[in-house]
Amino acid sequence: MKSAAEKHNKPVSINLKEEEYRQLLRELANTTHRTLSEYVRNLITGKPINVIYRDRSFDDFIEWCIRFKKDLDSILSNDGFTDTEKQWLNGEITTIKETMLKIYDHVRQNSQHQKNVKRPAIQSGQAEGRES
């Protein structure tokens, strides 16, 4: 349990324009912070902000894999195949799915999903004070 000195119990209130507030929420959504208070507290005190960078090509790959898996499942559910053909297809489809999972794991391990950022810009869309 935190002592009274460690608790955050001093409120600070500011007024923002609607667009400024929406921008603040957008920037919060790209961080690992769970609350707006935690995020703003770290901004004010100059503590590092963990920003999540999305890899669009990785996202596209995942979407394609999901569609492809559905296509494979629909092929397997086709009634035009004999039991022997379905058994063979099931083995081939399982191999394909396992290969897709290996590719997914490899790409995920080798891509960088977070960067430590000192002070992201709140007021402008520019990346002032960000580390590369």
Q: Quick check: is 125 in a domain?
A: no
Residue 30 pLDDT: 85
CA distance 27 to 5: 29
What's the domain count of the chain? 2
Flag whether 26 is in a domain.
Answer: yes
Q: How confident is the model at residue 111 (pLDDT cuts 50, 70, 90)?
A: low
Residues 70 and 102 in one domain: yes
Please report which residue ranges of 16-76 form alpha helices under DSSP H: 18-29, 36-45, 56-76
Instruction: Evaluate whether residue 81 is within a structural domain.
Output: yes
Kindly state whether residues 26 and 60 are assigned to the same domain: no
Give me the pLDDT at residue 16, please: 94
Residues 65 and 96 in one domain: yes
Give the position of tokens 């009634």. Answer: 79
pLDDT band of residue 4 (cuts 50, 70, 90) is: low
Tell me if 131 is assigned to some domain. no
**Contact between residue 32 and residue 50 where contact means Cβ atoms under 8 Å apart:** yes
Mean pLDDT of 106-122: 54
Q: What pLDDT sits at residue 122?
A: 44
Range of the domain at 46: 18-53+113-117
Give residue-wise pLDDT tens across range 5-52. Answer: 678 888 889 999 999 999 999 999 888 888 999 999 999 998 988 887
